Amino acid sequence: MTADTQTIRAGSLAGLFLLALAGGHPAEGATERDKYRACVAKTQRAPEDALEAALAWRDDGGGFPARHCVVLALMALKRYSQAAVKLEKLALDMKSAGPERQTAMLAQAGNAWMLAGNYTRARDIFSTGLEFMREDVDLLIDRARAHAELGDNGAAFDDLDRAVALDPERDDALSLRAAARRHAGDFERALEDAEMALVLNPRNAEALLERGTLRKRLGDRAGARADWLRVATEHTNTPAGDTAQAKLEELDLKPD
């Protein structure tokens, strides 16, 4: 489980916040949702302009939607640490909105810290979220990623094992648990996890990368090549695709 292949859920920031807006707070009705959607769209086209507009909206009483759009603009500008700090404050201020919405903000803050490379803070934020929602599978998976980046493979495995128990059809949890099992030397069961992840989602790039690594470890170089070639071909111009290409080149440099 490396930073190269991890799937950060930051892309779902706007969607999660729209769910919060749908809760029907009088100050956050249809007009606020329209403003928010327009602001989000602007962050994707012109993040600098979006940040300026979102700050002005916030200062004009835009409330939570404006503050969240500020975060999205910062994320688009790759100012992850600033975004994470603001998300933590937003989560604190949204306490009255209920544990589910507050936890969603904490999850986003943790993912922003992951992108910033502050895995310790990310782990702690995910842990705080799990105090509110103990069986949140996404949070367990996120915290497992943070544990893995910090080198705590045992804790990562425990979170992933719990996530799979809660939802056996989560192919992302299975592929990551495969990596945790491999790091623990349990290659056969790791391969079983990777295979199951691919049954559930044949295009899971992490599972393909992991199965390739396991196949190579177990002496199946042809199988490893096939898996990595699929990732390099089907996921070009992505971190997973780049990792697969590097593994293929390494395989060619070290023939049997």
Instruction: List the domains of the chain with CATH numbers.
Output: 189-256 (1.25.40.10)
Counts of helices then strands in the chain (DSSP H, E): 14, 0
Supply the pTM of this predicted model.
0.86
pLDDT in tens, 158-169: 999 999 999 999
pLDDT in tens, 56-109: 999 999 888 899 999 999 999 999 999 999 999 999 998 877 888 889 899 999
Q: What is the pLDDT of residue 126?
A: 97
Q: How many CA atoms lie within 13 A of 238 on its CB side?
A: 18
User: What's the pLDDT band for 52 if we cut at 50, 70, 90?
Assistant: very high
Question: Which residues fall within 8 angstroms of residue 101, CB to CB, at 6 or more apart?
Answer: 20, 23, 94
* Dihedral sign from CA coordinates of 244, 250, 253, 254: negative
Q: What is the pLDDT of residue 6?
A: 41
More confident residue, 147 or 23: 147
Contact yes or no for 57/43 (Cβ under 8 A) = no
User: What's the pLDDT band for 19 if we cut at 50, 70, 90?
Assistant: very low
Tell me how far apart the alpha carbons of residues 156 and 241 are, in angstroms, rounded to a whole number: 24
Q: What is the pLDDT of residue 26?
A: 45
